Structure 1
């Protein structure tokens, strides 16, 4: 990151100070507000450089903003742990000499270690401070990391990257969304979204392998700590016929963070508010706002549709046809959402909405409207 690392260090040090001057009852909202204000300012600075100054965003800037977004997760998670009394702040009392040898200094060092833990800032899964502390405390009992799991993760990531290259070669010889016509646009959208998904899957596997190499994600541990780290449940993501299941499984640690931070604390419109906050957290590009708000509506429609059609699946033939149709629908809707979110701009939104690709989300939205009217 080079000089941009200062943008990471400032909120880390500020959050440590905040934890010691704000009461534990209100620390959660203070940490969330200040960290999101800092992150939003950085996102606006990037938008200014990219669109107004027409400057190319360098790799260092991308790494910096990604690390800052993940740091937001860690700071707010620690603040929620303090708010829920899972972590208690040791007050800073006495002179400098007494403070240095006190438990407060040790706790601050642990906070710094947790917030600046580099495998997590590079894209690794999220864990709470308590889990991190327990893993570090027990590290002397483990003689070596799980090399078998690390090797397996790296091998799978290599296979996925190879598959991604093969798919990209095939796409390069096909039409793009700018020149495609009719049903060819659906195929182009699906294959392009597949490239993004393969890239995410391989990165998640490498991130998990890095965590294992650092001594985390112990082998033969099924419950608790390990269960929160499986961001790359590829089988579930690619075989599910429910958008809601895909949403809960996609980047599971971030989904759990959003559920705990926003969804469980909102009494009205929790689903829509959660996705709106996700768009804000991602940077408020036009594609982010459009994509995440559409995602919220489609998840709501997905709940209604499956609840309505479940009693109709009496025979195995009906169940099979229903699963095939809803699986195809889920795959194409997910491709639509990924394209809107990843491409970010108004131009891509217009290309998606003016082609056959918009048929699939519109079908679910019309179903949601019909269910609401029927209920009223």
Structure 2
């Protein structure tokens, strides 16, 4: 990250200082406000350079920003653990020398800066991280097989993505010139390329975590160890589900769980809107991100209502098969629209996406919000 290392080091150190200076009941509030203020300031600086100065941001700055977003997940996860009593700060409050108190802070500093998380996740809880470090000398050799399997899947995804890129092309502005069904299929294919980039990134991150001794999920019924505790890429579910809501819960799973705990479970009204709105804030507040995530929230709410309305009419046989296929296609096209809107981000690209035929599919879901009754969610 070069000169941008302070973007990560300063909030990591400030978090450790807050563990020492702020009382546990107030810790989460302070950590959240300080961390999100720091992250938002840098996101706005990036937008200033990109839109006002029309300068391409330094690649090292983008890497640092990605790591800063992941750091936000970890420090707020710890602060929520402290707030809920799952992690105690007993060693910081007990009497002792300054050196002993400083040592009690080292696990937290190590957790905020351990390299697999800086490279791309997935989110590992502090308790899981600490227990993995304490058991590092007892790592089972079968973990090597899981690392190799993940690496093979990563290489397969990269090869498939390259072949798909040659077939489809990467120029979005070319693709939007296509109309009708061809335009819909072309934009869906380009969104698939974006999804595969995420899949390969998550799979490689999972392999790195397992190689570092993280992600041990206990043993199966026959006694073989399971390395499935840190899992973001549920590719099968993502590509086969016929529900936008299930896609949202399975996409980047540890981040989805973090958002659910940080926002969704903390409020009683407009929970989906608040959760997806915060996700847009966390991602950077570009216009495409704001529009895309708010549209995603609306389609998830509509998805709950549509499936609740249709299920009583769906019986076995051909009707159920037809229902599954139509709702699967609708889910894929809604997700394709959201991904393209969020990834392209700029106002000019957002206008093109909204002007393309694929925008009809999320608009249909949003219109049904005003027709179908609300389904109560847990």
Q: Kindly indicate whether the alpha-carbon contact (under 8 Å) linking 2:151 and 2:204 is maintained by their aligned counterparts in 1.
A: yes
Q: Which residue of 1 aligns with 2:174?
A: 176
User: How big is the shift at 1:52?
Assistant: 1.6
User: How big is the shift at 1:176?
Assistant: 2.3
Alignment of 1:186-265 (within 5 A): 186-218=184-216, 221=219, 228-265=229-266
Q: Which residue of 2 aligns with 1:147?
A: 144
Q: Which residue of 2 aligns with 1:285?
A: 286
Q: Which residue of 2 aligns with 1:66?
A: 66
CA distance, structure 1, for counterparts of residue 150 and residue 217 of structure 2: 13
1:227-260 deviation per Cα after TM superposition (whole angstroms, max 9, x unaligned): 5522111000000000011000000000000000
User: How big is the shift at 1:222?
Assistant: 6.2
Which has the higher mean CA deviation after the structures are superposed, 182-191 or 141-150? 141-150
Q: Which residue of 2 aligns with 1:133?
A: 130
User: How big is the shift at 1:50?
Assistant: 1.5
User: How big is the shift at 1:125?
Assistant: 0.8
Q: Which residue of 2 aligns with 1:122?
A: 119
Going from structure 1 to structure 2, the CA distance change for 1:205 and 1:145 (only over 3 Å counts) comes to: same
Going from structure 1 to structure 2, the CA distance change for 1:193 and 1:222 (only over 3 Å counts) comes to: farther
Q: Kindly indicate whether the alpha-carbon contact (under 8 Å) linking 2:92 and 2:104 is maintained by their aligned counterparts in 1.
A: no
User: How big is the shift at 1:185?
Assistant: 1.4
1:152-209 deviation per Cα after TM superposition (whole angstroms, max 9, x unaligned): 1111111111111111111239982342222221011101101001110011110000
Q: Which residue of 2 aligns with 1:108?
A: 105
Question: What is the CA RMSD across the aligned residues, in angstroms?
Answer: 2.1
Q: Tell me the TM-score normalized by structure 2.
A: 0.93
Q: Which residue of 2 aligns with 1:24?
A: 24
Aligned residues: 370
Which has the higher mean CA deviation after the structures are superposed, 39-48 or 169-178? 169-178
CA distance, structure 2, for counterparts of residue 231 and residue 173 of structure 1: 25
Q: Which residue of 1 aligns with 2:356?
A: 355
User: How big is the shift at 1:59?
Assistant: 1.9
Going from structure 1 to structure 2, the CA distance change for 1:173 and 1:349 (only over 3 Å counts) comes to: closer
1:261-300 deviation per Cα after TM superposition (whole angstroms, max 9, x unaligned): 0000011111110000000000000000000000000000
User: How big is the shift at 1:371?
Assistant: 0.9
Q: Kindly indicate whether the alpha-carbon contact (under 8 Å) linking 1:114 and 1:132 is maintained by their aligned counterparts in 2.
A: yes
1:49-89 deviation per Cα after TM superposition (whole angstroms, max 9, x unaligned): 11222221222111100000000000000101111121122
1:212-239 deviation per Cα after TM superposition (whole angstroms, max 9, x unaligned): 111122376469x955522111000000
CA distance, structure 2, for counterparts of residue 370 and residue 173 of structure 1: 38
- Structure 1 unaligned segments of length 5 or more: list them: none
User: How big is the shift at 1:335?
Assistant: 0.4
Which has the higher mean CA deviation after the structures are superposed, 210-219 or 74-83? 210-219
Going from structure 1 to structure 2, the CA distance change for 1:57 and 1:222 (only over 3 Å counts) comes to: farther
Q: Which residue of 1 aligns with 2:44?
A: 44
CA distance, structure 2, for counterparts of residue 106 and residue 277 of structure 1: 35
Task: Please say if 1:7 is aligned against 2:15.
Answer: no
SS of residue paired to 2:23: coil
CA distance, structure 2, for counterparts of residue 91 and residue 366 of structure 1: 54
CA distance, structure 1, for counterparts of residue 375 and residue 121 of structure 2: 45
Q: Kindly indicate whether the alpha-carbon contact (under 8 Å) linking 1:242 and 1:330 is maintained by their aligned counterparts in 2.
A: yes
Alignment of 1:327-346 (within 5 A): 327-346=328-347
Q: Which residue of 1 aligns with 2:98?
A: 99
Task: Please say if 1:79 is aligned against 2:63.
Answer: no
CA distance, structure 2, for counterparts of residue 10 and residue 4 of structure 1: 11
Alignment of 1:365-376 (within 5 A): 365-372=366-373
